Structure formats: C-alpha cells, structure tokens
Amino acid sequence: MKVVILASFAASLANFRGPLISALTSRGHEVHAAAPDLLADIATAAWLQAQGVTCHDTPLARAGLNPIADIRAFFAITRLMRRIKPNVFLGYTIKPVIWGTLAAWQAGVPNRFALITGLGYAFTGKAKGKRALIQRAARWLYAQALRRASLVFFQNPDDVTEFLRLNLIPADLPTHVVNGSGVDINAFSPVPLPTGPVQFLLIARLLGDKGIREYAAASEMLSALYPEIEFHLVGGYDLNPDAIRPDEIKSWGETGHIVWHGELADVRSAITAAHVYVLPSYREGTPRTVLEAMAMGRPIITTDAPGCRETVVEGENGFLVPVRNAQALAEAMQRFLENPKLIPSMGHRSREIAVEKYDVQKVNAIMLKEMNL
C-alpha cells in the first residue's frame, strides 16, 4: 500500500515516528513522508531516504496563526495527495491532523488516520482574549477534520473523554488509545546513576504549560536549603504563543537556580547526568521525555494530569504532584533529597514499566494492526 505520513516538524519523522516508518517499509509498503522544509533537514531526509521513504516539502507552519497560510497549505497538501494517490494517510500533531485529514478526504484517500499526541495550547490554560479565539477555532477545525477520519488514535483516555465531551468526534467514530509514541528501550537503555549531589532534570519546549515556571520556583525554594543540589533544564525557544521569553530563562540562570543547556539533539547525555527526572506539565498526550528517562532507569516526578499520570505508579517509580503547584513539586523533590535510597529502587521500577508498557515495538504493532497494515 501507499502510505503518506504528515508532520509539522521534519525532525519528528525520524525522532518520533522512525520505528513506525521502519516497520511500514519492512512490510513492503510504499511510504511518503511530508513536512515543512523536510528536504532542507539533510539528516532527517537522508535517514528517511535510506529507509526507502520518498520525502516531500509542505508549506505548513507548525506554530503559525495565519489562516490564509493554513488554507494555502491545505490546498498544497491536497494536490500532493492527488499526485501520490495513497491508500492510507496518517497525521499527527494539531495542524497535520486538521489540514492533512481534510486534504486526504478532499483527495479521496480511502483510509484516514489521526494521532492526537496532546491537546496543547488550544486546550490548556484559561481561555481569555487571543487564547480563547485560538481555542474556539482549533476545536471547530478539529471537529470538521475528525468527522472525516477513519479512526483516531489517542495517547491517553482523558483526551478521548474530552473530545467526546466537546463533541469534537462523533460518538460512533472508532478510537483507540495507545501508550504514547513509545520508547526505543534499546537506544534508551539503563545507565548507572551519577556520583555526587542529586541532580534534577527537566526536558521540554520552553512553554509555560510545561510547568517550567513551577520548576524554577521549586528550585529556588530548595536551593536555599540544599545549595549543593543542581537543577537542569534542556529545551529550545519556541514560537508558540505560550512560549517563555528568553530574558526570563536567562534570569533563572543568573540567580543560580537553573542550569539551562539549550536544545540538545540527543538528550541521553543529559538523562545520564541526572538522578531524578521532573516534568510538571499541565497536560500531555504521553510525554516522550518521561518515557526516555524511565527507560534509562530514572525515577519520575510529574503532575497528576492527563497523559502524565499514566507514567507513574505512585510510590513505585516516582511521585505525582498537583498541576501549577510549585510548593508540592518542591516537597516531592525534597523526598529524594531526604531519602536518596529511593532513587535507585524507583529508577529500576521505571525501567520495568517502560519495558512492560511503553516499548515502541509494542505500541507500533498495535497501531499497524488497527490500520490493517
């Protein structure tokens, strides 16, 4: 079969969908990958082409709010679909799901699959002003697109419930919940804990909804009590309307509470250097960085929020804290400082859960079965 996979960020095709694409090509399917500036991303395009994948550029802005540009992208994607004539379309993240599904329907692609990897800016936070307008537009567009999908994959049950509550998907539309994007348990293998004082780590796009400000506040609280402890942050600037300003991030480093490393192409070195992984996000699909830290044998502190809570068995491989609560986050972090023996035992349990539940091969096998591929 011919399969088109549409992304909004070229590198994600290899980083997040690489094992799925490899599984498709190994089964003899003709795979086409499309994303903005894909051909300019030499490393990603080379990896895809080595898998036998045909690469296409699409004018789809990942974080833009220009409706005219999005409509132009829709027509460009529709023309691409008509030229390729695929049997199957798969889109993931908000714009590929919306505009890709609509384009696939318009082009007569018979099997149209959407993967909801999280609800993001259009669903989290208080909807006021510009955010309220974006939220209403995103929900309306989701409803128009998903009513034309053959099946929708979700990464946690809360998102299914939310989409049904908001009438974004018909009650009779087939849905399936998968365990996130999975993690390559061989590439992300257990590594020994570092020596020295406890080091905490957060990896995320620099957005307010990732709980980065709560992490900074918690680090300030704990630094006064444990001046030898380090709090690390990995992530690059983002064009999202919820992005944290560069001057705010730099101010945390100047006060000595946060060690910011910028964006890393390979986060394994950062996880190796950390004792405990922290993600105080307000909502996720299933956070990939948490799965990577779990696979490498690190305990987790995350929020009791959709997508996040599924990764932690409270008291076994980490702790859950309320959303937007820096004090509770600091207290959870302090539990590891007061009882460091928890770190190796909970890290071991994290690895077990990653292998049992989040192995990318198991996740992809389910998706391929549901898509009859």
Each residue's pLDDT tens digit, 86-115: 999 999 999 999 999 999 999 999 999 999
Residue 125 above 70 pLDDT? no
Angle between helices 342-357 and 288-295 (to 10 degrees): 110
Q: Which amino acid is present at 133?
A: L
Long-range CB contacts (< 8 A, 24+ apart) of 264-270?
A: 264/203, 264/234, 267/203, 267/234, 267/292, 268/187, 268/188, 268/292, 268/296, 270/201, 270/203, 270/232, 270/234
Crossing angle of helices 326-338 and 342-357, rounded to 10°? 110
| 2-182+360-370 and 199-357, same CATH topology | yes
Cα 355 to Cα 358: distance, rounded to the nearest angstrom? 6
H helical segments located in 189-318? 212-225, 246-254, 268-272, 288-295
Domain spans of the chain?
Answer: 2-182+360-370, 199-357
Check residue 324 and give its pLDDT: 96
Residue 281 burial class via C-beta count within 10 angstroms: exposed 0-12, middle 13-18, buried 19 and up = buried
- What tokens appear for 26 in the block? 């190994």
Contact 6, 90 (CB under 8 A): yes
Portion of the chain with pLDDT greater than 90, in percent: 86
Confidence check: pLDDT of 83 > 90: yes
Whats the size of the chain, residue-wise? 373
State residue 124's pLDDT score: 62
Identify the H or E element spanning 19: helix 18-26
pLDDT digits (tens, 9 = 90+) for 157-195: 999 999 999 999 999 999 999 999 999 999 999 999 999
Token pair 């994600």 is found at 12
Place of tokens 């096998």: 365
Model confidence at 126, pLDDT cuts 50, 70, 90, reads low
- Decide which of 238 and 25 is more confident: 25
pLDDT per residue as tens digits for the range 256-269: 789 999 999 999 99
CB-based contact 18:47 (threshold 8 Å): yes
DSSP string, 165-207: HTT-S-TTS-EEE-STT-B-TTTS---PPPSSS-EEEEE--SB
| Average per-residue pLDDT for the chain | 94
- Under CATH, which architecture does the 199-357 domain have? 3-Layer(aba) Sandwich (3.40)
Average pLDDT over residues 140-169: 96
Over residues 32-57, mean pLDDT: 98
238: pLDDT strictly greater than 90: no
d(CA 246, CA 326): 21
pTM, to two decimals: 0.92
Q: Enumerate the H helices of 31-154 as residue ranges.
A: 42-50, 67-84, 94-95, 101-106, 129-146
Listed range (25-29, 131-135, 147-151) with the worst mean pLDDT:
131-135
Model confidence at 53: pLDDT above 70: yes
Q: In the β-sheet with 30-35, what is the strand arrangement from edge to edge?
A: 54-57, 30-35, 2-6, 88-92, 111-116, 151-154, 175-177
User: In the predicted model, is pLDDT for residue 241 greater than 70?
Assistant: yes
Provide, rounded to the nearest whole percent, the portion of the chain with pLDDT above 70.
96
Q: What is the pLDDT of residue 181?
A: 94
If one compares 68 and 298, the residue with the highest pLDDT of the two is: 298
Q: Give CA–CA dist 127/136, Å, rounded.
A: 9
Q: What confidence category does residue 81 fall into, taking pLDDT thresholds of 50, 70 and 90?
A: very high
Cα–Cα dist 235/262, whole Å:
5
Find out whether 134 and 65 touch, Cβ atoms under 8 Å.
yes
User: If one looks up domain 2-182+360-370 in CATH, what number appears?
Assistant: 3.40.50.2000
- Give the pLDDT of residue 138: 87
Q: What burial class does residue 67 get, using C-beta atoms within 10 Å of its C-beta: 0-12 exposed, 13-18 middle, 19+ buried?
A: exposed
Query: Which one has a higher pLDDT value, 326 or 123?
Result: 326
Query: For residue 121, what pLDDT band results from cuts at 50, 70 and 90?
Result: low
Distance CA(168)–CA(143), nearest Å, equals 4
Query: How far is Cα 359 from Cα 181, in angstroms, rounded to an integer?
Result: 9
Residue 246's pLDDT is 84
pLDDT of residue 134: 78
pLDDT at 111: 98
pLDDT at residue 193 in the model: 98
Note whether 118 and 283 are within 8 A (CB).
yes
Confidence of residue 64 (pLDDT cuts 50, 70, 90): low
SS3 231: strand
